[in-house]
Structure 1
Amino acid sequence: MEWETLPFFISDHEGFHGTIKTSPKDFVVTEIDIHGQLVTDPNIQGTQTKTVYQGTIKDVKSKQTQPDEIDISNQDCIDLNVILNPSVRKELEHFTNKIRAKTSPCEGEQENMELSLGTFADKNLRAVVHRAVRQTFPFLQTVTNQSEIRVREDQDFKDLSKLSSEGEAEEFFRFIDAKVPGSAFTFLPDHSKEHRTSVHHFVSLRFGKLVETKSFTDQNKTSITVRLRDKSKQPKKRGIADCQEEEVTYTAFTLQKENLETLEAISYMAVVLGVLPSDFTYAGIKDKKAVTYQSMVVKKISPEQLLEKVADFDRRGMKISRIHPVFEPLKLGRLQGNHFELVIRDLKPHGKHELAMLEELIREAVEHVKNCGFVNYYGPQRFGSRTCVQADRIGLALLKEEMETSVKLFFTPEDGDNLQNKAKQHFLLTGNAKESLALMPAYKARERLMLRALHRYGSGREGCTRSWLSLPHAMRLFYLHSYCSRVWNEAAAYRLQKLGFKAVQGDLVWSGSKRGCKNTTEDELNAPQVQVVTAEEEMDDVFSLEQVILTMPGNNVKYPENLVGKWYEDRLAKDGLGSCRFRVNPLKLNIPGCYRPLLAKPQTITYSFRTAEESQTTGESLMTGQSDEPCAPSLSLEFDLDASCYATVCLREIMKYHVS
């Protein structure tokens, strides 16, 4: 169900026609923080004193079997006959023969064909065993579990053997294991560019942090050379103690941007500051065609470093203010809402109403929405600015883990002959990410990040997965949330169509007193706070429609216990998500789900109507760049909305007109 076809208005007033976003300055959005203060408020304390820093260690691996990464390149290779007793050496030979013969494991053996070489209490001796086994049998992987060493077939070796001879694969793995500084390995000449590309992608994917690859042509023969990366440029491993002692720097600031996407602004700031886009965190994505003010936090940059770059951001049309140190990144959804200052131009009544009645129509419309609210649909911004392929379709492909399909949808060009569409078209036709990257405009941050990853890792399933991982976590989530939002919009329309405008049996409501999104992030709106309306409660009108909530699909939510619940089940099954766990493990994404009020209300709403004559007097035609045209009546509106509520949806109810 598209935005333009969404049914149902709450009020029965007439409404009026008008134009929004004639210029970005007609749509000003200021974030309201969790304390209820505007992020531009000069009275808010701009500095924080750090007392005790509570560091967090993430991804610390438990003691489990992991491939050993001990570097013993300076040790001589020792004969396995010396360090293994004869019976174990014989078992190892039998084990390797079975792997090479590709025979099935004997009864009682593990399916993954592992063999224990015994326990070795001394760490240095374990290192010698690892090195000796891998030099003698490059197709084996050695793993340590406490002091026990086990061997199994190396899947990476198996995959490379499909691209080269086994002998060449063995020499390559000996080169990788030796890690001799300044060394290189050259594959045999290969006349097939497609095959060379596959080898490049394999090596980059498996060993990209350790080596780099390049093709060289000599006497019309092209070979791939693999070189060990300079150790000084490789990140050094740190112990847990180092992580605990290190205090990560976080700096908060308020960003003002105009006619700029949030990610576009972040990408530019990341380049200027020399950090990754994923080092920036924010509470929410703001409109592009608008003037917006929002809080952000950047990691690894001090307030002094950020202040030094303010002039660079000014040149790009971004202003930075309220810079101060903080303790942690900003979580998505950590805001109370947004304050809107809007101007609606080119006003005229619907249908047969006279222009003289316009001011009365506006007063009636504003009062109705102030008192009755509006259907809390997700606005068109939730689905992106695309016309051919909207974000929810990409989100559906990601939920189904159709990685290659999702990338093709992402690069489907829009109408028009601009550079970005040419770059997208070129990628879809040729699959050449490098050439498409050269065509893609510098300001298209998302597209360039993904093309770089596709060039490095290829356009197969794994390469497409890596391309999505190159985007910040919040941006990957955007596409999944977009799909869930589409389902929610359709559920809201179905709920009102089938069950009407009162709370009925099986509806979900907040338990206890009425709850809304205010002061509560989406992640916090979980099942224990929700109750189901009973038949008695429906009969006694215990709850109003304003208290009804609808489910955003996820893996930790309940659904209405009436025909709307069955509708959810059928709707998800229709899209092939009947058994979906709402987790996309390859992309490290989890969708727990949440609940969203069916209705929303603007707070502190005020308005000011200007007639055509008054607009002419104030020079509004000059402000909008339309000085040759006569001024039309205009309307200024100010109001607050809770987090995740959309001004365009509120305007839709006020005007009885689909705005975007």
Structure 2
Amino acid sequence: MRESPYPLERELGMQFYATDTPGTGGTLRTVPDDFIVDEIPLEKKGSPSGPYLICRLTKTSWELQHAVKEIAKRLNISHRRIGWAGTKDRNARTTQLISIYKVTPEQVAALHLRDITLEVLGQANEQLSLGDLTGNRFDIWIRDADPEDLDNRVVSVTEAAAIALPNYFGLQRFGVIRPLTHRIGEYILRGEYEQAVATYVGQAFPLENEVARRARTVYWDTRDPAAALSDLPVAMSFERSMLSYLQAHPGDYPGALRQLPPKLLSMFVSAFQSYLFNYALSHRLAAGHSLTGAVPGDRLIFANGRTDTATAASSAAISLHLARGRCSIALFMPGRDAAGAPAGDEATQAMLADLGINQDHFRRASEFVQTKFDGAWRPIALRTPVETVVKDRDLRLRFTLPPGHYATTVCREYMKADPVRMI
């Protein structure tokens, strides 16, 4: 095990690597085609007359929320009528299914957007919802890697990936250019809606362009919607919608937040839950516990969702189950309901106590966002066979992951590079 030296990763709870091997270095996403994602859909029966049109969406260098909003705009419908099974990377070429409520194939065929294609596949009686997928296939190139002992470095991590890597939520879960979604989620949980708006609209980051940074800083310093709107680029449509609302409804910060698409708004609170998981996983690793060795009291999650608790008496059987991939050690991400929650991971509970956040805050956020923020178990280990090709100083990785697992978590283990080189 090796500690990450990068402040951003440590801030997001990603404090360790599974392997001690020096990283390959290199850069991800030199061009979008260096990061290809193909969604593996669930097998669902279609309907020849269902109200939802199922389409295959292929996009390049589009953030999903913005792509959906633009598609809805061109179709002259609400973006709330479009559903999807999983979010995908922006700086990539991605393929996934979306559902569109009450539009015709002819309307979709007439749609033309740069770097977006839509192929009608059929119809269904239900919309696609988050999680309605089997997984994702990845085909990734890491460019300009360190050539020193590159083959052996790759082999070492590939062997580890087949056994267990820390199943961290990746950087894109928190925002690639602006890693702050978990902080906005924290403010929503606290009911600090003005600070949530100020952070989303006004907090600037070094990797943004100068125009965006300047416009954000105006709002951060003045809290004046009109002054910020005059400088905000047209492309920053979500921020403009929020500030336009505040111009018309001064001081209504909850209303301003509700100008965001519901799924985007819900992602803030779930990002905070993800941050808690990363933090608890790193705390566990810092305490000397492994990803594959259960200790009495650990919770185990099986492929069918069933959970069990490790005991000293069951240690031999548990070790066998873990080795064969039948189950994984899991940590609990707190939410609004106590049902199924453990007595409490000490690191998570201590953090929540320090922040003054409890189940009532999650319940209030659920009502505000109109999304259930239930607690959930998540495996602490990611395992996948990785097919690798080393070509001069470039490294190709091909692998498949279940829903909710992050390809960048695999890539960071190989690269051990500044996260800025993975965005």
Relative to the length of structure 2, the TM-score reads 0.87
Aligned counterpart, 1:549 = 330
Name the SS of the counterpart of 2:86 in structure 1: coil
Name the SS of the counterpart of 2:77 in structure 1: coil
Which one of 407, 425, 441 corresponds to residue 197 of structure 2? 407
Which one of 437, 445, 460 corresponds to residue 237 of structure 2? 445
Per-residue deviation, 1:258? 1.2
Which structure is richer in relative contact order (CA contacts within 8 A, separation 6 or more)? 2
Distance 1:457 1:299, change over 3 A: farther
CA distance in 2 between partners of 1:286 and 1:392 (Å) = 18
Q: Does 1:492 align with 2:281?
A: yes
CA distance in 1 between partners of 2:368 and 2:377 (Å) = 26
Name the SS of the counterpart of 2:205 in structure 1: coil
Q: Does 1:258 align with 2:258?
A: no
CA distance in 2 between partners of 1:260 and 1:377 (Å) = 24
Structure 1 residue runs without a partner (length 5+): 37-44, 54-248, 350-354, 517-524, 612-632
Aligned counterpart, 1:507 = 298
CA distance in 2 between partners of 1:30 and 1:540 (Å) = 36
Name the SS of the counterpart of 1:339 in structure 2: strand
Contact kept? 2:48, 2:122, Cα under 8 Å: no
Per-residue deviation, 1:433? 2.6
CA distance in 2 between partners of 1:408 and 1:49 (Å) = 47
Aligned counterpart, 1:532 = 309
Name the SS of the counterpart of 1:288 in structure 2: coil
Per-residue deviation, 1:591? 0.3
Aligned counterpart, 1:336 = 134
Per-residue deviation, 1:15? 4.2
CA distance in 1 between partners of 2:150 and 2:40 (Å) = 32
Distance 1:537 1:268, change over 3 A: same
Report the residue type matching 1:487 in the other structure: L
Distance 1:431 1:567, change over 3 A: closer
Written as runs of structure 1 = structure 2, the 5 A alignment for 1:27-176 is 27-35=35-43, 48-50=47-49
Written as runs of structure 1 = structure 2, the 5 A alignment for 1:633-648 is 633-648=393-408
Distance 1:565 1:363, change over 3 A: closer
Contact kept? 1:532, 1:560, Cα under 8 Å: no
Name the SS of the counterpart of 1:29 in structure 2: strand
Q: Does 1:574 align with 2:354?
A: yes
Aligned counterpart, 1:391 = 181
Contact kept? 1:555, 1:592, Cα under 8 Å: yes
Distance 1:579 1:264, change over 3 A: closer
CA distance in 1 between partners of 2:55 and 2:210 (Å) = 34
Aligned identity (percent) is: 26
CA distance in 1 between partners of 2:271 and 2:160 (Å) = 30
> How many pairs were matched up?
401
Contact kept? 1:468, 1:587, Cα under 8 Å: no
Aligned counterpart, 2:411 = 651
Q: Does 1:375 align with 2:166?
A: yes
CA distance in 1 between partners of 2:303 and 2:297 (Å) = 18
Cα deviation, 1:300-338, whole Å, max 9, x if unaligned, reads 3222211121xx21xx22111234322222111211111
Report the residue type matching 1:594 in the other structure: A
CA distance in 2 between partners of 1:492 and 1:539 (Å) = 23
Structure 2 residue runs without a partner (length 5+): 1-6
CA distance in 2 between partners of 1:410 and 1:448 (Å) = 11
Cα deviation, 1:557-576, whole Å, max 9, x if unaligned, reads 54445xx6232221111111
Distance 1:306 1:539, change over 3 A: closer
Report the residue type matching 2:377 in the other structure: Y
Distance 1:568 1:429, change over 3 A: closer
Q: Does 1:469 align with 2:275?
A: no
Q: Which has the larger radius of gyration?
A: 1
Aligned counterpart, 2:119 = 321
Contact kept? 1:465, 1:587, Cα under 8 Å: no
CA distance in 2 between partners of 1:324 and 1:29 (Å) = 22
Per-residue deviation, 1:4? 4.9
Contact kept? 1:281, 1:330, Cα under 8 Å: yes
CA distance in 1 between partners of 2:160 and 2:359 (Å) = 42
CA distance in 2 between partners of 1:286 and 1:541 (Å) = 34
Per-residue deviation, 1:364? 3.5
Cα deviation, 1:86-142, whole Å, max 9, x if unaligned, reads xxxxxxxxxxxxxxxxxxxxxxxxxxxxxxxxxxxxxxxxxxxxxxxxxxxxxxxxx
Report the residue type matching 1:531 in the other structure: D
Cα deviation, 1:172-225, whole Å, max 9, x if unaligned, reads xxxxxxxxxxxxxxxxxxxxxxxxxxxxxxxxxxxxxxxxxxxxxxxxxxxxxx
Cα deviation, 1:473-507, whole Å, max 9, x if unaligned, reads 21111100111111100101112222512101111
Per-residue deviation, 1:649? 0.6
Written as runs of structure 1 = structure 2, the 5 A alignment for 1:278-357 is 278-309=80-111, 312-313=112-113, 316-349=114-147, 355=148, 357=149
Note the aligned Cα RMSD (angstroms). 2.5
Which one of 467, 479, 484 corresponds to residue 268 of structure 2? 479
Cα deviation, 1:386-440, whole Å, max 9, x if unaligned, reads 44x6111110000111111111111222336633333323333444434533432
Aligned counterpart, 1:565 = 345
CA distance in 2 between partners of 1:544 and 1:35 (Å) = 28
Written as runs of structure 1 = structure 2, the 5 A alignment for 1:153-232 is none
Distance 1:408 1:440, change over 3 A: same
CA distance in 1 between partners of 2:26 and 2:219 (Å) = 40
CA distance in 2 between partners of 1:440 and 1:340 (Å) = 35
Per-residue deviation, 1:261? 0.8
Contact kept? 1:256, 1:294, Cα under 8 Å: yes
Contact kept? 2:279, 2:348, Cα under 8 Å: no
CA distance in 2 between partners of 1:268 and 1:598 (Å) = 37
Contact kept? 1:609, 1:636, Cα under 8 Å: yes
Contact kept? 2:83, 2:127, Cα under 8 Å: yes
CA distance in 2 between partners of 1:420 and 1:361 (Å) = 40
Aligned counterpart, 1:187 = none
Report the residue type matching 1:368 in the other structure: A
CA distance in 2 between partners of 1:22 and 1:503 (Å) = 40
CA distance in 1 between partners of 2:103 and 2:358 (Å) = 45
CA distance in 2 between partners of 1:656 and 1:425 (Å) = 33
CA distance in 1 between partners of 2:173 and 2:103 (Å) = 30
Distance 1:452 1:17, change over 3 A: same
Cα deviation, 1:45-69, whole Å, max 9, x if unaligned, reads 9x7413xx6xxxxxxxxxxxxxxxx
Contact kept? 1:508, 1:531, Cα under 8 Å: yes
Distance 1:587 1:540, change over 3 A: closer
Written as runs of structure 1 = structure 2, the 5 A alignment for 1:622-633 is 633=393
Distance 1:657 1:560, change over 3 A: farther
Distance 1:437 1:637, change over 3 A: same
